[in-house]
Structure 1
Amino acid sequence: MPKQLGSLKCLKTLTNFVVGEGSGSSIRELGKLKNLSGALSISQLQNVIPPKDALNVGLRDKKYLDKLALEWAATTPRSESERILLESLRPHTSLKRLTIKSYGGGIFPNWVGHHSFSCITSIHLDECRNVCSLPPFGQLCSLKELSIIGLNGVVTVGREFCGNSSTGSSSIHPFGGLKVLRFEQMSGWKEWLSSSSAENEGGAFLDLKELCIRNCPKLTGGLPIHIHSLAKLLIDSCPKLVASLLRNQLGAMSGNARIALVELPSGRQKLEVRGVNEVASLEGIMDSNSRLQELQINYCESLVSLPWGGPLSALKSVRIKWSSKLELPIDTNYSSLETLSLRGSCDSLRFFPLELFPKLKDLTIVRCGNLECLTVPEQHERHLVISNIQIVGCDKFVSFPKGGLCAPSLTSLEVLYCRSLTLLPDKMHLLLPSLLTLRISGSGQMESFPEGGLPSNLNSLRISDGDKLFVNRIGWGLQNLSSLTTFEISGESEGVESFPEAGLLHTGLINLRIYHFRDLKSLDKNGFQHLTSLQKLDLGWCEKLEHMPEGACPPPFHL
């Protein structure tokens, strides 16, 4: 900081003041700047010697400051002098936002959390590692956001947190205006006690919308908050925390366990559960009045069941990942579900009955090792509204519904690395009139497309790693697909030296991609001469390609 800063007596804005060592900038210079307003950060406060020099700053008289940050070096040792210094830096009660970082004292001075600070809306305490108890923040009637991070010395949060019942209007409802509360990286915290009778009666945290508790490994017990009223709840890496969200069923969570309840823009709720082990069921996960409509479960290897028919009956979206023991009952009607994603989960699932999902639009099934087929009774065929199906890495998957998949709204179908599958759905050209995108990869047993060919509205076709299918490419009927604009072919049969053959592709094709043709030596002039609409040609990993006929390549050529 420049010397003699205090001579700028009319200065109104000073965002950061760094206290120098020895003969450097003196904190006394701030005392001469009477007109400071807006935001002020004072850092390197460990350099203030003696601490009482801070009295000369006169922060208590600077009523135009609305944001104040006080910061020490991270290595500041515990010292009584730090408390004296912070006491001397008491700001004016009109302050709105306060941050205290790396404070080395064992307790905060009385002004931190004092009810006279009636305008304060935001407080952040960060890395104050020696502090052993929290200020009475509950009596700050205007407080909206409170973050407490890295206070490792705090073991118990209790009555002192809510404040003295004899002070001010906030006594009946501690934290009455608080919207966001965060506790993070508090390695010594063990208990969060119900702090007052008002809290037990629902009088505390009345307006709380977001609660975040991260990396508090010793915290156990419950939460003295009615969490069903929250818009967002995040509990992450708190292995001993038994939250009322799951009614004391999470006593054996892994170190990476996470529970998150998130408010979506539409006002719906999304619940995320991750790494919850040694628990077989999540019965009681939400009450009957829950607005829960999205559920995500990740890495819950011991989880077997969910209350599908009860509180979860209104779910619109379910995403389950790496929870192999979890069962998807086939005697339940998933009447509201619109999106379902299963990844490395539900190993007991052999048949997927589409008729149980009357509103399902998006289905993704990845690496469900025992899945054999999709089924739907004939009487339910016309009622399917599904628009996207993706099946990946299901080695035992062999068939679609017998007689074809009647899905008039289906726009995208992807079947990837299902090595036992021999046929796509029958009568695709009739039963899938809306299909726009088809992707087939790694289905080595598939030899041909269904009788009747592909749907006429198809505009994107991607085929890879299907040697047997590629052999019969002349019979694909692509030349009849007038809507096809994008065609990608990759990793096909060895020995193909020229491609594409004459008449293989429709003249309206716009994008052509050819990848991993190891023996390809030339592009067939006869195959290109009718592609008058071609705008983009991509070639990749065709190491032996030598000849490209004149006029074959449009201007945006990529190799």
Structure 2
Amino acid sequence: MNLSILDIRGCAMLDELPKDIYNITHLKIQREEPLELGPDSDSDVELHLFDGPPTGNIVRNIRDAKRINLNERESIKSLSYECMRKEGWDGEAMLDALQPHQNLQKLCIRHYQGLMFPSWMRSQMDTFLPNIIKIKLFSIYDSEDLPVLGQLPKLEVIVVDNMPKVRRISDEFCGQRNAAGISFPSLKRLTLTNMWELEEWVTAVVAGDGERGTSLFPCLEELCISDCPKLRVRPGIPPSVKTLDLESSVLPLLTGLDGCQMSLKHLSINDLEEWISLPESIRHLSSLETLRIEECESLATLPEWLGDLSSLGSLEIRDCPLIDYLPASIRHLTALKTLDITACSESL
């Protein structure tokens, strides 16, 4: 055998070579340099799985993933996984080998191609990531379920964007409740975006008589729902929500405001095409301070009951071309300080 150079650079899926190959005298094996993370790694790290830009931190295979010992890197506080989608590459096994340290506070996963999340995100996640504050999941096309996040004691922010196979967010999302009997004990902000097939989100335990029971999101204050055209919230928006931002979603979401009549302070509605008039449920938001309505092209009139919103301090109406007058009751809005009307009917 006269082989002197074996070039296996670019063979990301090749974990090992035949043992006999090392018996070839003077053989030089050229391979990609494995990623090295020193003991003093930056607190904010982005990893590219399988492939990535030349200057990126690329983890090419499971061997490299195990070598960097990510679960021992206690200095890393923010971690982002960018997964290269290619046929035959086992993203679940790769993320299993890239379990982060318990000190991690922020986690972002993009373009993950596994049917299931790694084992450290499926059960007892509060043991693996007890200090996590923010979790973002982007463009995860194959998984039908969200990881169980309700047990994480410090989790404050969740962003889920573009998971097209998720149809239902049930109480399984919450997992087992803590010693105080609640889930998501610290969650303050939730964003659901581009969830085209999401049909149902369960927000509370329903009692035997059909009445709303214990909220599954007791501390949630800010809720953003965008481009979720099939979504229904059952039994309704969590009563703790103070800020609600709806964009390109469906009207029934605004019929579930009964539970937050006293708490909701800021309501933003953008691009709800099927609207002709404002739903009656808004009328009873006695604590509402700001109302912004934008790009609702079918909205033709504003109701007289608008004057019942006694706490309203700011009213913004933009890009609603059919609205050509304001109701007379607007004079009863004694707390109103800001009135912004832009790109509506020329007669207004």
TM-score band by shorter chain is 0.7 to 0.9
Aligned residue for 1:181?
Answer: 190
- 1:280-323: CA deviations, max 9, x gaps? 34322043532334454543534434243663244344344535
For 1:219-234, what aligned pairs fall within 5 Å after superposition? 219-222=231-234, 224-226=236-238, 229-234=240-245
SS in 2 for 1:134: coil
Aligned AA for 1:311? D
* Cα distance in 2, alignment partners of residues 307 and 281 from structure 1: 11
- After superposition, the CA RMSD in angstroms is 3.4
Q: Is 1:121 paired with 2:137?
A: no
SS of equivalent to 2:224: strand
Residue in structure 1 matching 2:46, options 24, 41, 45:
41
Separation in 1, partners of 2:285, 2:139:
40
Instruction: Judge conservation of contact 1:222–1:242 (CA < 8 Å) in 2.
Output: no
Q: Is the 8 A contact 2:83 2:91 kept in 1?
A: no
**1:68 alignment counterpart:** 79
TM-aligned CA distance change 1:239 to 1:37, over 3 Å? same
Report which stretch shifted further, 135-144 or 153-162: 153-162
Match of 2:246 in 1: 235
Q: Secondary structure at the match of 1:100?
A: strand
Q: 170, 184, 190: which is aligned to 2:199?
A: 190
Distance 2:44 2:347 in 1: 56
CA distance in 2, matches of 1:78, 1:181: 32
Q: Partner of 1:432 in structure 2?
A: none
TM-score, with normalisation over the residues of structure 2? 0.73
2:90 is aligned, of 81, 94, 98, to 81
Q: CA deviation at 1:130?
A: 1.1
Are 1:152 and 2:131 counterparts?
A: no
Q: Hey, what does 1:285 align to over in structure 2?
A: 282
- Structure 1 window deviating more from structure 2 (36-45 vs 155-164): it is 36-45
In the alignment, what sits opposite 1:172? 181
- 1:186, 1:123 → 2: CA distance? 17
Contact 1:108 1:135 in 2 (8 A): yes
Q: Which residue of 2 aligns with 1:444?
A: none
| Aligned residue in 2 for 1:405 | none
How far apart in 2 are the matches of 1:278 and 1:39? 44
Larger radius of gyration: 1
Distance 1:271 1:245 in 2: 15
Q: Structure 1: which amino acid aligns with 2:303?
A: L
Whether the 8 Å contact between 1:324 and 1:344 is mirrored in structure 2 is no
Asked if 1 retains the 8 angstrom alpha-carbon contact of 2:71 and 2:100, the reply is yes
Residues in 2 aligned to 1:105 and 1:341: alpha-carbon distance in whole angstroms:
47
Residue ranges of structure 1 left out of the alignment (5+ in a row): 1-19, 248-262, 346-365, 370-559
CA distance in 1, matches of 2:44, 2:323: 54
CA 1:335–1:159: 2 relative to 1, 3 Å: closer
Contact 1:219/1:240 (8 A) holds in 2: no
Residue in structure 2 matched with residue 93 of structure 1 by the alignment: 102
AA partner of residue 50 (structure 2):
L
Of 138, 142, 146, the residue aligned with 1:134 is 146
Find the residue that maps to 1:85 and give its secondary structure: helix
3-state secondary structure, aligned to 2:67: helix
Change in CA separation of 1:305 and 1:99 when aligned onto 2, cut-off 3 Å: closer
Distance 2:249 2:306 in 1: 30
Asked if the contact 1:270/1:295 (under 8 Å) is kept, the reply is: yes
Contact 2:167 2:199 in 1 (8 A): yes
Question: Secondary structure at the residue paired with 1:65?
Answer: coil
Aligned to 1:425: none
Distance 1:78 1:195 in 2: 39
- 1:451-475 deviations in Å (ceiling 9; x for gaps): xxxxxxxxxxxxxxxxxxxxxxxxx
- Residue 223 (structure 2) aligned to one of 211, 220, 223: 211
The aligned counterpart of 1:308 is 305
1:56 and 2:67 equivalent?
yes
Partner Cα separation in structure 2 for residue 246 and residue 327 of structure 1? 27
Quick one: structure 1 residues 25 and 151, their matched pair in 2 at CA, closer, same or farther if it must change by over 3 Å? farther
- Output the CA distance in 2 between the equivalents of 1:202 and 1:327: 42
SS of the residue corresponding to residue 309 of structure 2 reads: helix
The one-letter amino acid paired with 1:100 is I
C-alpha separation in 2, matches of 1:323 and 1:161: 41
Mapped partners of 1:90, 1:212: distance in 2: 29
CA positional deviation for 1:21: 3.1
SS at match of 2:183: coil
Query: Which residue among 10, 13, 17 is the counterpart of 1:21?
Result: 10
| CA displacement at 1:134 relative to structure 2 | 0.6
Maintained 8 Å contact 2:193/2:227 = yes
Q: Structure 1 residues 189, 272: closer, same or farther in 2, change over 3 A?
A: closer
Partner Cα distance (1:305, 1:35) in 2: 59
Contact 2:307 2:331 in 1 (8 A): no
Work out whether residues 288 and 311 of structure 1, in 8 Å CA contact, stay in contact via their aligned partners in 2.
Answer: no
Q: How many equivalent pairs are there?
A: 303
Aligned amino acid, residue 81 of structure 1: D
Find out whether 1:106 has 2:128 as its counterpart. no
Q: Would the aligned equivalents of 1:174 and 1:205 in 2 still touch at CA under 8 Å?
A: yes
Alpha-carbon distance between aligned partners in 2 of 1:101 and 1:301, rounded to the nearest angstrom: 36
Q: Check the 8 A contact 1:61/1:91 in 2, yes or no.
A: yes
Q: Is contact 1:181-1:210 (8 Å) kept?
A: yes
Distance 2:267 2:202 in 1: 27
Q: What is the distance in 2 between the residues matched to 1:342 and 1:65?
A: 47
Percent of aligned positions that are identical: 24
- Post-superposition Cα deviations, 1:43-81, rounded to whole Å, max 9, x if no partner, equal 1435756535422221122222222112112xx146572
User: For 1:344 and 1:102, how far apart are their aligned partners in 2?
Assistant: 38
Query: 1: CA distance between counterparts of 2:187 and 2:136?
Result: 13
Match of 1:367 in 2: 346
Using the TM superposition, give the Cα deviation of residue 96 of structure 1 relative to its aligned residue in structure 2, in angstroms.
1.2
Corresponding residue SS for 2:305: coil
What's the TM-score once normalised by structure 1's chain length?
0.48
2:322 aligns with 324
Aligned pairs for 1:385-396 (under 5 A) are none
Following the alignment from structure 2 to structure 1, what is the Cα–Cα distance between the partners of residues 329 and 100?
65
For 2:107 and 2:167, the matched residues in 1 are separated by 23
Partner letter of residue 368 of structure 1?
S
Q: 1:308 to 1:295 in 2, by over 3 A?
A: farther
